[in-house]
């Protein structure tokens, strides 16, 4: 969409929809908006709402785990028949676990994270007026919204929400009589997730086409910020793997409602012989994890991109090994499709297959290690500004290391025999994809809040929020490793039935109180977030002295992002603290001809004219110095 025409009056630009934004109604501006910035905000606020709900659910079941014998009359007041006598019903406990997982993985860390920042940053960092298809973008949000409403509505039906775990393995999820959550709640879960996948695909296709087609002049792929690379690869992963999940879910719907036997065979439920024959429950697991594993990278890769960008800006240093960062992202993307079997080592799958999946799984640790080392090298000899966003990016790296290393245990089929489905797994993924991804998301919120709302967030509340959450999450998840190693299974309603698990009860109490503390820390964030939207300090155009294009757009949002011409890009986004430069950052829009003193021969690979100019300048300068 870039054009060479020079326009000197600010507001007007050569855009077909120009006349529209002059008479925006409330409905078109805030509800059915097609503007990517507004859609990003819609995604963010819905995502945060869902996150708060899922967090409250987790506190409810944590209370149950810490005090399995106590009754809390308040719970009965709040939950009614799901907590008779103030104690959670065991099946409702499983529903809480299930919905907590589903909301966090899909609604918060997929839609809330990718949806918000892909929508906000892709056009702004690439120099596009809007997404390739704004209407599809709007549909994407509304499908997501409908999915959220359906998912939450399952709390209001007679038998309660789905309860078979977020992985909804059949036959448990396929037989409505197997547990109360597999009845109507499961139907709603399936409908909701299918809407969600529709949303995710509409969004993903849009992101990919925008990134491939709508970059501004000069923005070649190797000049894109790492955020965009990560959103691009995330969207690709989603577009290729989500349809497989839908296929799996449709077959499950058939099994549940139309009497087919894709996943069911040889079943006697409660003494009643069922007619199903010839299906395989393992088939569902293959289909599910073919999405399920890429899904965890869909969750973590945007967080990696955001952390890379935020760390580079706030260390005032170029990201170390930009190319290696991109290649490792690509490596993770490709490998993530061939590792799903590591979730199924102990399902009875052919042990040889288990061996193969173990090899591919452990290979994926190499690009992850490269990323970690590159982040550390980015910090080395930096000039680190501790904005809240920077702290959260650092937290992300710390969690990614801690949680990633335990992945080496779980990816090893032999070790997985003893660790599968224990608290070790819970600790592992909550650190590596739960906490790390949510910290990436929070880093993004703090960093791009000025871009989204034109206001600054309060830094000191941000610090408070960071430290309590960061320490709290470690306190919650670190001890869980040892419970898992002792053979304490996940998804247990109470550990009171086993003599050997009773000694972990005090640890459970500790974990619960740490979780409650971290949950209260989120109040600091929410207050900060809401307060700053309305009464925050006004933001300047480039509050973080960053190089990327979004900071060249005016603080006031306008349809089309830039008044007048879209800026042209001349350099990569990471020229921070370049020796010889006047300031410690050079935005992407500054041509090399304006920064002769800081240019390096490296900047002119594949650019002979530029190289000649650079050599001439160097020669002239040297002559000057000799004269002096």
Partner 1 sequence: MGFKNLINYKKIAALFAVLLLCGTNVLMAQTTDATATAATDDAAKSAMWTGVGYYVLLFLLLCFGVAIIGRILKVYDLSNQLQNKKGIHWNNIMGVFCAVFLVVGGSAAYWSITVQGSMSLPEAASAHGVHIDEMFLTTTVLTMIVFVITQILLFTFLFIYRHSEKRRAYFLPHNNTIEKVWTIIPAIVLTILVVFGFFTWRTVTNSQQVKGDINIDITGHQFAWELRYPGKDGVLGRKNYRLTTALNNLGIDYKDRNSFDDLKADTMVIPVNHSIRLNINAQDVIHSVYMPHFRVQLNAVPGLPTFFKFVPTITTAEMRAKEDNPQFEYLVYCNKICGGGHYNMKKIVRVVTENEYQQWLLQQKPYLTDGLKKELKIADVSQQKSGVTNRLALNN
Q: Which of residues 359-398 bind partner 1 (CB under 8 A)?
A: 359, 362-363, 365-366, 369-370, 372-374, 376-377, 379-386, 391, 394, 397-398
Phi-psi sector, 580: left (phi>0), alpha (psi -120 to 50), beta: left
State the CB neighbour count (10 A cutoff) for residue 556: 8
The pair of structure tokens assigned to 561 is: 């992002």
Least distance from C-beta 230 to partner 1, angstroms? 18
Looking at the Cβ atoms of 12 and 381, the one nearer to partner 1 is 381
Region binding partner 1 by CB under 8 A among candidate stretches 221-229, 340-348, 535-543, 604-612: 340-348
Three-class SS state of 168: coil
Kindly report the backbone phi and psi dihedral angles of residue 544, in degrees, each rounded to the nearest multiple of 5, phi listed first. Answer: -105, 10
Residues in contact with partner 1, counted by CB under 8 A, come to a total of 127
Q: Which of residues 17-36 bind partner 1 (CB under 8 A)?
A: none
Q: Which of 15, 217, 491, 557 binds partner 1 (CB under 8 A)?
A: 491
Least distance from C-beta 565 to partner 1, angstroms? 29
- DSSP category for residue 565: S
Looking at the Cβ atoms of 136 and 408, the one nearer to partner 1 is 408
Q: Closest Cα partner for 18 from 137, 136, 130, 141? A: 130
Residue 179 CA: distances (Å) to CA of 151, 254, 318, 568 = 18, 19, 54, 60
Looking at the Cβ atoms of 337 and 510, the one nearer to partner 1 is 510
Looking at the Cβ atoms of 415 and 611, the one nearer to partner 1 is 415
Q: Does 526 bind partner 1 (CB under 8 A)?
A: no
- DSSP category for residue 598: G
Alpha helix stretches (DSSP H) within 258-380: 281-315, 322-335, 351-363, 365-379
Looking at the Cβ atoms of 144 and 446, the one nearer to partner 1 is 446
Q: Which of residues 411-430 bind partner 1 (CB under 8 A)?
A: 412-415, 417-418, 420-422
State the CB neighbour count (10 A cutoff) for residue 341: 24
Q: Does 348 bind partner 1 (CB under 8 A)?
A: yes
Q: Which of 253, 507, 558, 596 binds partner 1 (CB under 8 A)?
A: 507
Looking at the Cβ atoms of 516 and 613, the one nearer to partner 1 is 516
Whether the CA torsion 251, 257, 258, 259 is positive or negative: it is positive
CB-CB contact of 42 with 78 (8 Å): no
Question: Please, which residues bridge with residue 455 across strands?
Answer: 538
Q: Which of residues 593-622 bind partner 1 (CB under 8 A)?
A: 602
Region binding partner 1 by CB under 8 A among candidate stretches 37-45, 111-119, 124-132, 342-350: 342-350
How many Å apart are CA 219 and CA 607, to the nearest integer?
A: 15
Q: Which of residues 460-489 bind partner 1 (CB under 8 A)?
A: 460-461, 463-464, 467, 470-471, 474, 478-479, 481-487, 489
In three-state form (DSSP H/G/I as H, E/B as E, the rest C), the secondary structure along 508-524 is: HHHHHHHHHHHHHHHHH
Is beta strand 455-456 parallel, antiparallel or unpaired with respect to 272-273? unpaired
Least distance from C-beta 610 to partner 1, angstroms? 17
Q: Between vectors from CA 185 to CA 180 and to CA 186, what angle results, nearest 5°?
A: 95
The pair of structure tokens assigned to 322 is: 């930009």
Looking at the Cβ atoms of 321 and 564, the one nearer to partner 1 is 321
Looking at the Cβ atoms of 20 and 582, the one nearer to partner 1 is 582
Q: Which of residues 438-457 bind partner 1 (CB under 8 A)?
A: none
Q: Which of residues 52-111 bind partner 1 (CB under 8 A)?
A: 73-74, 77, 89-91, 94
Q: Which of residues 250-279 bind partner 1 (CB under 8 A)?
A: 264-271, 273, 279
Looking at the Cβ atoms of 253 and 363, the one nearer to partner 1 is 363
């Amino acid at each position: 969409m870039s054009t060479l025409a020079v326009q000197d009056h600010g507001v007007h630009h050569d855009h077909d929809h120009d006349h529209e934004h002059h008479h925006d109604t409330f409905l078109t501006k805030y509800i059915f908006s097609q503007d990517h910035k507004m859609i990003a905000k819609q995604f963010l606020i819905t995502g945060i709402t869902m996150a708060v709900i899922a967090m409250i659910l987790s506190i409810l079941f944590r209370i149950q785990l810490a005090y399995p014998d106590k009754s809390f009359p308040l719970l009965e007041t709040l939950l009614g028949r799901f907590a008779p006598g103030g104690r959670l019903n065991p099946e409702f406990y499983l529903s809480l676990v299930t919905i907590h997982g589903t909301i966090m993985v899909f609604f918060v860390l997929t839609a809330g994270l990718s949806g918000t920042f892909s929508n906000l940053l892709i056009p702004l960092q690439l120099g596009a007026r809007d997404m390739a298809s704004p209407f599809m973008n709007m549909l994407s949000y509304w499908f997501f919204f409908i999915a959220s409403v359906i998912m939450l509505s399952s709390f209001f039906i007679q038998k309660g929400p789905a309860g078979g775990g977020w992985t909804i393995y059949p036959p448990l999820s396929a037989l409505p009589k197997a547990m109360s959550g597999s009845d109507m709640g499961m139907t709603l879960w399936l409908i909701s997730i299918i809407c969600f996948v529709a949303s995710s695909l509409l969004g993903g296709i849009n992101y990919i086409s925008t990134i491939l087609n709508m970059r501004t002049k000069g923005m070649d792929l190797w000049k894109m910020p790492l955020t965009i690379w990560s959103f691009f690869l995330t969207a690709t992963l989603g577009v290729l793997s989500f349809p497989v999940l839908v296929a799996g879910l449709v077959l499950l719907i058939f099994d549940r409602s139309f009497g087919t036997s894709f996943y069911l065979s040889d079943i006697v439920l409660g003494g009643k012989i069922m007619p199903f024959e010839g299906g395989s429950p393992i088939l569902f697991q293959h289909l599910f994890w073919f999405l399920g594993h890429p899904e965890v990278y869909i969750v973590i890769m945007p967080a990696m991109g955001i952390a890379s960008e935020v760390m580079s800006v706030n260390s005032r240093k170029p990201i170390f090994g930009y190319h290696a960062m991109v290649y490792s992202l690509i490596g993770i993307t490709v490998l993530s499709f061939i590792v799903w079997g590591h979730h199924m080592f102990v399902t009875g799958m052919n042990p040889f297959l288990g061996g193969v999946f173990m090899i591919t799984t452990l290979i994926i640790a190499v690009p992850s290690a490269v990323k970690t080392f590159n982040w550390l090298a980015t910090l080395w000899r930096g000039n680190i500004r501790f904005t809240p966003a920077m702290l959260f990016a650092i937290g992300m790296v710390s969690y990614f290391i801690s949680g990633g290393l335990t992945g080496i245990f779980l990816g090893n089929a032999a070790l997985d025999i003893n660790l599968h489905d224990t608290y070790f797994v819970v600790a592992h993924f909550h650190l590596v994809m739960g906490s790390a991804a949510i910290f990436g998301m929070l880093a993004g919120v703090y960093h791009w809040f000025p871009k989204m709302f034109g206001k600054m967030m309060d830094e000191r509340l941000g610090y408070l929020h960071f430290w309590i959450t960061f320490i709290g999450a470690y306190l919650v998840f670190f001890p869980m490793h040892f419970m898992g190693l002792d053979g304490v299974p996940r998804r247990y309603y109470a550990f009171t039935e086993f003599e050997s698990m009773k000694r972990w009860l005090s640890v459970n109490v500790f974990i619960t109180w740490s979780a409650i503390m971290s949950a209260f820390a989120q109040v600091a964030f929410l207050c900060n977030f809401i307060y700053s939207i309305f009464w925050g300090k006004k933001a300047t155009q480039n509050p973080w002295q960053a190089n990327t294009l979004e900071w060249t757009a005016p603080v006031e949002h306008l349809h089309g992002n830039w008044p007048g011409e879209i800026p042209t890009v001349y350099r990569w986004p990471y020229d921070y603290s370049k020796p010889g430069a006047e300031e410690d950052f050079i935005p992407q829009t500054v041509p090399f001809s304006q920064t002769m003193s800081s240019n390096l021969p490296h900047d002119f690979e594949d650019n002979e004219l530029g190289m000649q100019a650079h050599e001439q300048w160097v020669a002239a300068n040297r002559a000057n110095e000799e004269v002096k």
